C-alpha cells in the first residue's frame, strides 16, 4: 500500500511563497499528474515528496507513515528528474542495475530486471554503451528504466519525456502508460504539457500560483473546470468566455443569445463554452469571422463576439471567409457558468 498524503504543505523561499498550504491525497496505485505553467510550484511539491526539499510547514505521509523528516532513501520511492542523474562512467546496463545492486539482489534477478526494463524503453541495444556517449533522449530513457527496474511503491517523475523528439515522445508516452498501469506503483508525474497530462493521468492536479486549483479526472477537468483558470489553461484552443447579464425576464443575455442561467445566480456571470461545442445554425451568438485555419480534420475559426476573441472548431467542409457574419449555437449541455468575482464555476443547469 502506498497511498500518499500531503497535509497542509507550504513552502517559502525567503519572502516568496512557492506553495500555499497544499492538501492532496493520492490513492495507492494511482497515476497523478501535477500540471501547470512554469513556476506554479510543481517541481517544488515533487521535491518535497521526494525529500530533496523540506516543507516550511505541513506533513507528507507515504503508505501510512510520516516521511517528511526522513531522507529520500528511506521513503520507498524512485525518481526520474529533469536532470536525470545517469552516471556517465557506467554502462547503460550498470546504470539500470545500480539501485538493484545497492539492494543486494541476486545477479540473475538483476539481469532479468535490467533486460526487461531496457526492452520496455527500447534501449536493449545500448546496454554495453557508456552513458556518457548517449544522446539526451537516450539518457532520459536510461533514467526511466533505472527507476522502473527498482519496482518501487512510488515513482516520482519530473518531465521525463522532455528531451525526446515528438514521435518518440508519443510512443514512450503510450508505453509508460502501459508499463505503469500494469505495475503496482503509485505515480506522481510533473508536466506542463496538457496533452501528456490528459493521456497519462488517472487524476490531474491543476496548479496555479502555488495552489492546486482542481484535482480530478482528465475528463472532469476538461468538461467541468472548477475555475476559470482551468478552462483557460486546458484545451487547445482553450475555453471561450463571454460576459452574461440577467435581464428583466430572468434570462441571461450573451451576445444576442438568451439563455436560462443557473437558478438564483448573480446579475452578472461569465458564460463559457469549448470551441468544439459550437455549431453554425440560426439564433446563436453573433460573431464576425476573422481568421480561418483549415486543420485537416477540422477548421478553426477565430471570430469576434462583442469585441472579444472567440474560437470555434467547425466541420472542415464549412465554407467561411474573413468578415462573414456567423451565428454560433452552443450545445446546451456543454455551457458552463463562472462567477466573475471569484472565477469559480457555478453548477451547470441540469
CB-neighbour burial class of residue 170 (10 A; exposed 0-12, middle 13-18, buried 19+): middle
- CB 80, min distance to ligand ATP, A: 14
Residue 58 CB, nearest approach to ligand ATP (Å): 15
Nearer to ligand ATP, 40 or 257 (CB): 40
Cell of 233: 489553461
Residue 222's Cβ-side half-sphere holds a number of Cα atoms within 13 Å equal to 16
Nearer to ligand ATP, 192 or 336 (CB): 192
CA geometry: angle at 28 spanning 23 and 29, to 5°? Answer: 120
C-alpha cell at 106: 541476486
> What is the smallest separation between the CB atom of 210 and ligand ATP, expressed in angstroms?
7
Give 81 or 98: the residue with its C-beta nearer to ligand ATP.
81
- Cβ atoms within 10 Å of 300's Cβ, excluding its own: 18
Binding-residue pattern over the window 38 to 57 for ligand ATP, x denoting contact by CB under 6 A:
xxxxxxx-------------
Strand 211-216 to 65-66 pairing: unpaired
Task: Find the binder of ligand ATP among 75, 113, 139, 192 (CB under 6 A).
Answer: 192
CB of 159 to ligand ATP, least distance (A): 7
Task: Say how far apart CA 311 and CA 298 lie, in whole Å.
Answer: 12
Residue 83 engages ligand ATP in binding (rule: CB under 6 A): no
Interacting stretch for ligand ATP, rule CB under 6 A, among 12-20, 88-96, 122-130, 287-295? Answer: 12-20
With respect to ligand ATP, which residue has the nearer C-beta, 41 or 55? 41
Please, which residue, 35 or 67, has the CB nearer to ligand ATP? 35
Among 22, 36, 216, 240, binds ligand ATP (CB under 6 A): 36
Q: Name the minimum Å distance from CB 40 to ligand ATP.
A: 4
Find how far residue 219's CA is from the centre of its chain: 12
Phi, psi (rounded to 5 degrees) for 116: -65, -45
What's the CA gap between 237 and 257, in Å, rounded?
23
Restricting to residues 303-342, name those near ligand ATP by CB under 6 A.
none
Residue closer to ligand ATP by CB (options 13, 288) is 13
Please, what is the minimum distance in Å from the beta carbon of residue 19 to ligand ATP? Answer: 8
The CA distance from 32 to 48, in Å, is 16
Q: Please list the residues that pair with 271 across neighbouring strands.
A: 242, 337
- Residue 50 near residue 14 (C-beta atoms within 8 A): no
Q: By rule CB under 6 A, what count of residues binds ligand ATP?
A: 12
CA distance 72 to 243: 49
From CA 198, how far away is CA 212, in angstroms rounded?
16
| CA torsion, ordered 166, 185, 121, 85, to nearest 10 deg | 80
The residue number with the shortest CB distance to ligand ATP is 43
Site membership for ligand ATP, residue 18 (CB under 6 A): yes
Q: Which stretch binds ligand ATP (CB under 6 A): 32-40, 107-115, 117-125, 193-201?
A: 32-40
Q: For ligand ATP, which is the closer residue by CB, 96 or 201?
A: 201
Q: Is 240 in the site for ligand ATP (CB under 6 A)?
A: no
- Which of the ranges 13-21, 57-65, 143-151, 291-299 carries the binding residues for ligand ATP, by CB under 6 A? 13-21
Chain Cα centroid distance, residue 271: 24
Q: Is 53 exposed, middle or buried (0-12, 13-18, 19+ CB in 10 A)?
A: middle
Interaction site with ligand ATP (CB under 6 A): 13, 16, 18, 36, 38-44, 192
Amino acid at each position: 500500500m502506498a497511498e500518499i498524503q500531503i497535509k497542509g504543505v507550504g513552502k517559502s523561499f525567503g519572502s516568496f511563497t512557492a506553495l500555499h498550504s497544499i492538501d492532496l491525497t493520492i490513492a495507492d496505485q494511482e497515476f497523478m499528474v501535477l500540471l501547470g505553467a512554469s513556476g506554479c510550484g510543481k517541481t517544488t511539491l515533487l521535491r518535497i515528496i521526494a525529500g530533496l526539499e523540506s516543507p516550511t510547514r505541513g506533513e507528507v505521509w507515504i503508505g501510512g507513515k510520516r516521511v517528511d523528516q526522513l531522507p529520500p532513501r528511506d521513503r520507498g520511492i524512485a525518481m526520474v528528474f529533469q536532470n536525470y542523474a545517469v552516471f556517465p562512467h557506467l554502462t547503460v546496463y550498470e546504470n539500470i542495475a545500480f539501485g538493484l545492486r545497492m539492494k543486494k539482489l541476486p545477479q540473475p534477478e538483476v539481469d532479468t530486471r535490467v533486460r526487461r526494463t531496457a526492452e520496455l524503453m527500447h534501449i536493449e541495444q545500448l546496454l554495453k554503451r557508456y552513458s556518457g556517449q548517449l544522446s539526451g533522449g537516450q539518457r532520459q530513457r536510461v533514467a526511466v528504466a533505472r527507476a522502473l527496474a527498482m519496482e518501487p511503491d512510488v515513482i516520482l517523475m519530473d518531465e521525463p519525456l522532455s528531451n525526446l523528439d515528438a514521435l518518440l515522445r508519443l510512443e514512450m508516452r503510450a508505453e509508460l502508460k502501459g508499463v505503469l498501469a500494469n505495475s503496482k506503483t503509485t505515480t506522481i508525474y510533473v508536466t506542463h504539457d496538457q496533452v501528456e497530462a490528459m493521456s497519462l493521468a488517472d487524476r490531474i492536479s491543476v496548479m496555479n500560483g502555488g495552489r492546486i486549483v482542481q484535482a480530478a479526472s482528465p475528463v472532469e477537468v476538461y468538461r467541468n473546470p472548477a475555475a476559470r483558470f482551468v478552462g483557460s489553461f486546458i484545451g487547445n484552443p482553450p475555453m471561450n468566455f463571454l460576459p452574461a447579464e440577467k435581464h428583466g425576464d430572468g434570462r441571461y443575455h450573451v451576445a444576442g443569445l438568451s439563455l436560462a442561467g443557473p437558478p438564483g445566480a448573480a446579475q452578472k456571470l461569465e458564460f463559457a463554452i469549448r470551441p468544439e461545442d459550437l455549431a453554425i445554425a440560426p439564433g446563436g451568438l453573433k460573431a464576425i469571422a476573422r481568421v480561418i485555419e483549415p486543420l485537416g480534420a477540422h477548421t478553426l475559426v477565430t471570430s469576434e463576439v462583442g469585441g472579444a476573441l472567440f474560437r470555434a472548431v467547425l466541420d472542415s467542409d464549412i465554407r467561411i471567409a474573413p468578415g462573414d457574419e456567423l451565428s454560433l449555437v452552443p450545445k446546451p449541455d456543454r455551457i458552463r457558468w463562472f462567477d466573475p468575482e471569484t472565477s469559480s464555476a457555478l453548477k451547470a443547469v441540469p
